[in-house]
Amino acid sequence: MADQPAEKPDRPRPRDVTYLDGISIKPVYGPADLAGFDPARDLGSPGAYPFTRGIHPHMYRARVWTMRQYIGFGTPKETNARFKYLMAHGQDALNVAFDLPTQLGLDSDDPRAEGEVGRVGMAVDSLLDMEEAFEGIPADRVSISLTINSMAAFIQAMFMVVAEKQGVAWDKIVTTPQNDILKEFVARGTWVYPVDPSLRLVCDVAEFCAKHAPRVNPISVCGYHIREAGCTPAQEMAYGLAIVAAYTQLLQTRGLDVDDFAPRLSFNFTCWGRLFEEVAKFRAGRRLYARMMKERFGARNPRSMMFRSLIGGGGSAFTAEEPENNIVRGAYFALAAALAGAQTMALPTYDEAYTIPSPEAQLIALRTMQICAEETGVTDTVDPLAGAYFVEALTNEMEARIREEMAKVERMGGIVEAVKSGAVQAEVARQAYRFEQMMLTGEYPKVTVNRHVAPEAERGAAADTRLELYAFDPKVAEAQVAKLEHLRRQRDQAAAARALGRLRDAARGTENLMPPILEAVRAYATLGEMAGVLRDAWGEHKEPLVF
């Protein structure tokens, strides 16, 4: 063709580019790549079905994303102080990390909790700790993510009682308990009970909140952790959509109308990797979710079809080598999340490979998001990549890959069966190994790891000495244990025992467990006692051992 630039024989050939899901990327895209593309059908307007361009008509021109760093360590008092520090620097929502014993329903004096109390998050043994953590933080004025899953019912109940004591009505509180147990079985590992009773707890929280605390976002479906465990971007979206479909189906089976709970479902996904692949993943995911909720589950309220997402994280994409470079990586994640249409953003901190984040590292992550929002102009117009030949073609290809992965899950018997058999865990492990090989060969580029590697003498542990390592204080455990012993002596024993007895009976039946859990929380039953009652009734999950 006459208008094509002539190929010079000495010009270097373009290299091949294939993304993690096998999508082959052309050097140049053009009008032919949009054959059959119908903007009205495939995109719609921002804020309108199928929400490809975003869930709000004016997106960040009306309101910039929420900035929500993940915080929590040591005692509830220390966590409370860090919350207040970040709020004083412009963070408008909290994202609470809990220590592993809390996430697994063990009291701080349980032998299995030794060495873990207050380490990766805040320790919570009873209502008393939640009262301290939120002292001076009005329950109706801050939105609060509670990163907790198998114990979500208990922690959500504790927060509801904290609100009661502050004089705040339940219909005013905006919490987001993560409460996504299926992804814990696939990836994050803080499961306790077998799959079926675990699903019952998830749905008990969702059903109870739909009826009594309508602003609570009762489930945050996390593709994020599955991706961190090794799956591909299309699998991240496909597994997330399969998981939300499973919860939706269970709640409908309980007789709930999809429009009574779906407007409050939300998502937590990552965005590291190839910038446009990530943007395409979210645009395709929003479209698929809207169609699934409308066509398969019969949603009528447009809010039930909106893929509301926390986007960010991606600590696995950060390097231990030259950790300061992670600040730069974080800025690109923020850009990807903004172009992808995030409602909420959270970034990993550059020191994450080494330590519980320092206050300075947290502040840099917060400032990164603020700079992206206020200095770059990325917020000035909605979905600025719409209509780009490459981005629309890639969005279509990602949609096809996501559909294929969802079909594979169906062939495994659906996500619940695939989790029970370990089939989906095996696939994630396979992808993690494949990715590791790609890092070793340099097929997946990573500066300082397989590209531009520093000379031997400059590599290694030196970063440890440049970073402020979190000095874990063993006194945290002592303080928690002392508080627990004091509580067990001071509380009304008969009331606590009665409430635990009622929870035990309820666990054997089919009623919603939130009322007896709330009663036990008010009676200052400990988390370990309440979780133990359910353990006795249901047993523990047996993990399929696949790698």
Partner 1 sequence: MTERPLKVLVAKPGLDGHDRGAKVVAHALRDAGIEVIYSGLKRTPEEIVAEAVQEDVDVVGLSVLSGAHLTLARKVLEQLRAAGAEDIAVVIGGTIPAPDAQALLGIGVRRVFPMGTSLPDIVAYFRAFERGER
Interface residues with partner 1 (CB under 8 A) are 100-101, 103-104, 106, 112-116, 119-120, 184, 188-190, 228-230, 316, 319-321, 353-356, 429, 432-433, 436, 440, 461, 464-465, 469, 472, 543, 545, 547
- Least CB distance to partner 1 at residue 41 (A): 39
Which tokens sit at 12?
A: 């270097």
Residue 355, C-beta contacts closer than 8 angstroms, at least 6 positions apart: 467, 468, 469, 470
Burial class (CB within 10 angstroms; exposed 0-12, middle 13-18, buried 19+) of 414: middle
First to last CA, the chain: 53
- Please identify which residue in the block is written with the tokens 């779906």: 262
Residue 518 or 530: the one with the smaller Cβ distance to partner 1 is: 530
Distance CA 543, CA 420 (A): 8
Residue 116 or 519: the one with the smaller Cβ distance to partner 1 is: 116
- Least CB distance to partner 1 at residue 272 (A): 15
- DSSP secondary structure code for residue 98 in this structure: B
Residue 384 or 544: the one with the smaller Cβ distance to partner 1 is: 544
- CA triplet 290, 291, 293: central angle to 5 degrees? 65
- Least CB distance to partner 1 at residue 546 (A): 8
- Least CB distance to partner 1 at residue 184 (A): 7
Which tokens sit at 253?
A: 């089976």
Which tokens sit at 59?
A: 């997106």
Residue 120 or 537: the one with the smaller Cβ distance to partner 1 is: 120
- CA triplet 441, 442, 448: central angle to 5 degrees? 125
Sheet holding 175-177, edge to edge: 70-71, 93-97, 143-147, 175-177
- Least CB distance to partner 1 at residue 478 (A): 14
- Least CB distance to partner 1 at residue 547 (A): 4
Residue 168 or 432: the one with the smaller Cβ distance to partner 1 is: 432
Residue 353 or 378: the one with the smaller Cβ distance to partner 1 is: 353
Of 79, 36, 28, 20, the closest CA to residue 227 belongs to 20
Residue 255, C-beta contacts closer than 8 angstroms, at least 6 positions apart: none
- Least CB distance to partner 1 at residue 323 (A): 10
How many other CB atoms are there within 10 angstroms of residue 510's CB atom?
9
Residue 156 or 431: the one with the smaller Cβ distance to partner 1 is: 431
